[in-house]
Amino acid sequence: MSTPCTHCATGVDHCHGTLVVHATGPADCTQPDCTDTDEARHDLRIDCGSVMGGCDCARLAQVAAA
């Protein structure tokens, strides 16, 4: 039997997925059923350029900055 996370145990609105913050456009979540990508709901956040294989918007932002 597993122990629920602290947020689950206390009823805090949260998501177990990782928020992927894009250089351009809205953020995405790795949790398929997540519909609220507010940063406050996600303990884990990464920049889209850190995603394995990269992200097209991160490459576009680098080209635009050059």
pLDDT in tens, 5-52: 999 999 999 999 999 998 888 999 999 999 999 999 999 999 988 888
46 belongs to a structural domain: yes
Q: What is the pLDDT of residue 49?
A: 83
Q: Count structural domains, the chain.
A: 1
CA-closest candidate to residue 27, choices 54, 3, 46, 53: 46
Q: Would you state the structure tokens that stand for residue 23, as one six-digit string?
A: 């250089």
* Within a domain: 51: yes
Residue 14 pLDDT: 95
In a domain, residue 31? The reply is yes
Cα–Cα distance for residue pair 26/60, rounded to 1 Å: 15
Residue 1 lies in a domain: no
Residue 44 belongs to what domain range?
6-65
**Domain assignment present for 28:** yes
Q: How confident is the model at residue 57 (pLDDT cuts 50, 70, 90)?
A: confident
Residue 10 within any structural domain of the chain: yes
